[in-house]
Amino acid sequence: MAAQRERCRVFGYYEGSRDFADCMMKLSMQQSELRQQTFDTIWSSAGNSGPVVINNRK
């Protein structure tokens, strides 16, 4: 959460502004989408190839 706040600040939004809140919301939505994708990937692959290691570092 702190990382998201930092990223929005870097984008030039100041805390407490509407844009800042918008930015935080978008980032947390992105993250939960990513989590869901990763989860789906693990489960769909687990069936046919055993354990799956996903490297999600950028």
pLDDT digits over 40-53, tens only? Answer: 777 666 555 555 56
Confirm whether 57 is domain-assigned.
no
Confirm whether 35 is domain-assigned.
yes
Confirm whether 45 is domain-assigned.
yes
pLDDT of residue 45: 60
Domain count for the chain, please give it. 1
Confirm whether 22 is domain-assigned.
yes
34: containing domain = 2-49
Q: What are phi and psi of 57, to 5 degrees?
A: -80, 145
Distances (CA, A) of 24 to 2, 32, 34, 42: 10, 12, 15, 27
Is this structure's pTM higher than 0.85?
no
Task: Please say if the pLDDT value at position 3 is more than 90.
Answer: no
Contact of 19 with 7, CB cutoff 8 Å: no
Confirm whether 56 is domain-assigned.
no
Contact of 30 with 6, CB cutoff 8 Å: no
pLDDT of residue 53: 61
Confirm whether 58 is domain-assigned.
no
